[in-house]
Chain A
Amino acid sequence: MKARLWPIILIAAGFILSFAIPYFGLLDLYVQMILIYICINIILALSLNLINGYMGEFSVGHAGFMSAGAYISAIITVKCLSSASAAWLFPFAVIAGGVGAALLGLIVAIPSFRTRGDYLAIVTLAFNMIIKSVLENIDAVGGARGFLGMDKLTTLPVAFFWTLITIWVIRNFIYSNYGRGVLSIREDEIASDLMSVNTKQVKLLAFVISSFFAGVAGGLFAHLLQFINPRMFDIIKSTDILIMVYLGGIGSIAGSILGATVYTLLLEILRPLEIWRMVIMPLILIFLMLFRPRGIMGLKELTWFVPVLDRINSNRGVKGIRKWFS
């Protein structure tokens, strides 16, 4: 029973803190912003983990989905809603951004029916570059100059709330027969198809869910920075997300949370180094990969993230990964 209680206490405490910190000004604004960044990065890492970790594909265009969510939600709050109503309807704007990104995910999922591995990686990469290029050519959203005018609607409680939703939904998915279908595709796609898994349906679901949450993260990101431009969502951003996923450990919710947190914090801690920060940071990453090639969590899952119904099955998951990973 204890195992069941702890997460609830933690979630409640987290919520109270997320309200109390900005209300009483417990932490300065800069630290609050870092916390929000951590939340956004957790959402990004988790959603990419679904494709790269659980399904075993190698998507390198995650920032493309993020940009769709960012632009759609920003257009809604700036152009369609008044400032007052935007504050109330912000969740719906974020959802709309997620849905828009999910539709793009649907399109990217279709090539995944036929191609795998490096070729699918290229499809996602090209998708990322194409969407950036498209955004640069739409003058209505500012083209290459970018888009601004959003209110700062992404507060700490909002970010915390969406992070929890993401963790919960992705966990639910993984621990359902559809999610097991995702795992079986990673293990052996042909055998999975022959064991009655509708691989097309599973791939569609995985891509749609993953891109939905990338879009959500994009929406939160846009209303945190209050300014977006296409260059923020290029390949460099995508590789950032990749690093968080593999740093934490693939196929593990705890891994993605850790990876995103450690990566974001490290970048902030190293900030006093100024220009040498981005020299030291990759070195740390390289050493981490050399000493823990499977990421911090090393493919293990924290029991908290396993539904009680599945817990007896202690060995579930994800030791050692083949094919793309061997």
Chain B
Amino acid sequence: MTYFLQQGLNALQLGSIYALIALGYTMVYGILSMINFAHGDFFMVGAFICFVVVTFMGLPFVPAMILSIIGVSLLGVIVERAAYKPLRQAPRVSAIITALGVGIFLENFTLALSPYPKHIPAIIENTSWTFGGLTISSLQVIIILLSLALMTVLHFIVQHTRVGMAMRAISWDKNVVPLMGVPVNNVISITFAIGSGLGGAAGMMYGMAYPIIDPYMGIIVGWKAFIAAVVGGIGNIRGAVIGGYILGATEIMVAAFFPSTYRDFTAFSLLLILLIVRPYGIMGKPRPQKV
């Protein structure tokens, strides 16, 4: 039982990270109907910025966190303006392929800077508490609580601010909202900033939890988070969070009870079955067919 709870805690930690990344996918999708395939690499850049500021500038946790978030937000906005915005009228797939290109660029540019893998030094004093056989580390607490805090902030922004209202309006109807005087370009930029920032935060936390980083780490984590977003119902913010935690839990539990080589196989098969049962994701609703 303790073992199970311990794994549950690990699942919460990993799930929080997946959820944060999945939020970035889902927000961009909700507003542009575009899958930002470079998002996994934004996540990697977050971890990389954390590595740079911690190793070379010796910054403590909070400033490193803020710099990671701001850095990746900026990156997201720049990429959107430079690479995606010109393609908004083009076929949707063109933007997706461009996103793939941006991803490959970010990976290899980071790789070209210096050899890998790198090790992020610990910046948080690693204390742990034990409750009846259940061990909780300070890092775990920070990751889980911080993620929940970020999600709460996001929820507030989307539900209770003007920008959030504009975001929801655009995801509801892309054609009418601009006619209502909503500055669509600014809203899209803000969406990218927030979504990418969450990815950057996830990258940093991931880098602290699993301190070996390399430029390709964003690919698989990113694709997995994308799956989480779809399982939750892509475009749906609550769905992305739920999907992230489901994916985290599945991966950890499978690895806990089966040989670890079966982890991906079992996790993906489960997700596939889930999608076959609910083809539009957990929180997604099928759009009614109009004939």
Contacts and interface: CB of A to CB of B under 8 A. Distances in A.
| A/B contact in complex, CB under 8 angstroms | yes
Nearest to A295: B94
B86 A243 contact: no
Given A118-B230, A326-B92, A290 B86 contact: yes
A58 B100 contact: no
A58 B99 CA distance: 15
A246 interface: yes
B105 A282 contact: yes
A102 interface: no
B279 interface: yes
Contacts of B281: 119
Contacts, number: 132
A285 B87 CA distance: 14
A187 interface: no
Contact of B279 (A119, A129, A235, A286): A119
Given A118-B35, A119-B230, A279-B109, A137 B265 contact: yes
A115 B265 contact: no
B97 interface: yes
Given A246-B97, A282-B102, A133 B264 contact: yes
A79 B112 CA distance: 41
Most buried by A among B231, B276, B280: B276
A290 B272 contact: no
Contacts of A286: 83, 98, 101-102, 105
A190 B290 CA distance: 10
Contact of B101 (A133, A289, A324): A289
Nearest to A275: B112
A122 B230 contact: yes
Contacts of B226: 122, 125
A289 B291 CA distance: 34
Interface in B120-153: none
A290 B87 contact: yes
Contact of A283 (B97, B105, B279): B105
Nearest to A286: B101
A307 interface: no
Contacts of B181: none
Contacts of B276: 111, 114
A281 interface: yes
Interface string A67-83: 00000000000000000
Contacts of A190: 289, 291
A325 B93 contact: yes
A122 B275 CA distance: 9
A123 B109 CA distance: 31
A147 to B, nearest CB: 17
The main secondary structure of chain A at its interface with chain B is helix
A324 B92 contact: yes
B111 interface: yes
A239 to B, nearest CB: 5
A275 B108 contact: yes
B282 interface: no
A149 interface: no
A293 B230 contact: no
Interface string B62-89: 0000000000000000000001001100
Contacts of A114: 276, 279
A63 interface: no
A324 B291 contact: no
Interface string A289-323: 11001100000000000000000000000000100
B172 interface: no
Interface in B236-282: 261-262, 264-265, 268-269, 271-272, 275-276, 279-281
A296 to B, nearest CB: 12
B94 A246 contact: yes
Given A275-B108, A275-B112, A278-B108, A285 B97 contact: yes
Contacts of B220: 235
A190 B100 CA distance: 31
A89 interface: no
Contacts of B289: 190
A144 B234 CA distance: 33
Given A119-B275, A133-B265, A325 B92 contact: yes
Interface string A100-141: 000000000001001100110111011101101110110000
Contacts of A122: 226-227, 230-231, 271, 275
**Which 4 residue pairs across A and B have the least CB separation, nearest first?**
A293-B90, A325-B91, A278-B108, A133-B265
8 contacts: A119-B281, A123-B272, A133-B265, A239-B100, A276-B112, A282-B104, A282-B105, A290-B98
Interface of B: 29, 35, 37, 83, 86-87, 90-94, 96-98, 100-105, 107-109, 111-112, 219-220, 223, 226-227, 230-231, 234, 261-262, 264-265, 268-269, 271-272, 275-276, 279-281, 289, 291
Given A126-B272, A137-B262, A246-B94, 17 more contacts: A114-B276, A122-B227, A133-B268, A134-B265, A137-B265, A250-B93, A282-B104, A285-B101, A286-B98, A289-B87, A289-B94, A289-B98, A290-B98, A293-B87, A293-B91, A324-B92, A326-B91
Interface of A: 52, 58, 111, 114-115, 118-119, 121-123, 125-127, 129-130, 132-134, 136-137, 144, 190, 235-236, 239, 242-243, 246-247, 250, 275-276, 278-279, 281-283, 285-286, 289-290, 293-294, 321, 324-326
